[in-house]
Amino acid sequence: MVGDQPMRPDDVRARLDQLRSRLIQERVDARIHVIGGSAMALLFPDDPDVRVTRDIDAAIRPAPEVAKVVAAMAQEFGMSSRWLNANGAPFMPPGVSLDVVGHGVDITIASVEDMIAMKLAASRDQDLRDLGILARHAGIADAETLVDIAYAAYGEDSVVLSDSRDDYLQMAEQALVAARKH
C-alpha cells in the first residue's frame, strides 16, 4: 500500500479506515462519498472483472481539512499525494447530499444506480467497461434502462449528459455487448 501501487478492495478499505481514524484524531467532522473505480472495488470485492485502482475518487467535505490529513498520510506512508482526490466529483448526480451532519466522519459508497449514471456520463472506455459490470450486478440487460437511470439521476436538461440520448443508448449497448463476452 505504498507509492502509486494498484489497490485491491481490501487496500481501499484499509486506507479509508486509516483516514477515518486520522480525521477523528484531528477532530475533523467530514463526509467522504466514494465514487469511481474504488467504489466499484468496494461494491463488488469478489468480482474478478472489476479493475484495480490506483487512487480513491470521492466527493469530500470539508475539502481543505481532509486534504491536510491526506497529505500527511501520503508523506508518512510514501503514497501519492493524490491517493484520495475529487477528480470524479463533477460527475456526481445532483441528488446526492454531501452535507456534513453532526460530529464524526461519514464515509459512504455511491449506489449502483448513481455509479451507472456517472459511468455513462463519463463514457471513457474504462467507464463503459465498468458500466457493463454494473449492469450485470444490477440485473439490467437492456440499454434503455441504463440510459433512463442516467437521465433520472441528472435530469433531461443536464449539462453532464452532453451527448444525445441516442448516443448514450449506443454507448450503453456497446457496454452490455462487451460485458456479455466475459
Q: Mean pLDDT in runs of 10 for the chain (182 residues)? A: 75 96 96 95 94 92 95 94 92 83 89 97 93 96 98 94 96 94 76
- Write down the pLDDT at residue 103: 83
- Write down the pLDDT at residue 3: 54
Instruction: Please tell me the distance from the alpha carbon of residue 182 to that of residue 180, in angstroms, as a whole number.
Output: 5
Whether the model clears a pTM of 0.95, i.e. scores above it, the answer is: no
Instruction: Please tell me the distance from the alpha carbon of residue 154 to that of residue 113, in angstroms, as a whole number.
Output: 11
Instruction: Please tell me the distance from the alpha carbon of residue 177 to that of residue 121, in angstroms, as a whole number.
Output: 18
- Write down the pLDDT at residue 1: 46
Instruction: Please tell me the distance from the alpha carbon of residue 92 to that of residue 71, in angstroms, as a whole number.
Output: 24
Instruction: Please tell me the distance from the alpha carbon of residue 155 to that of residue 153, in angstroms, as a whole number.
Output: 6
Instruction: Please tell me the distance from the alpha carbon of residue 26 to that of residue 20, in angstroms, as a whole number.
Output: 10
Task: Give the Å distances, CA to CA, from 181 to 47, 49, 115, 129, 172.
Answer: 15, 12, 21, 11, 15
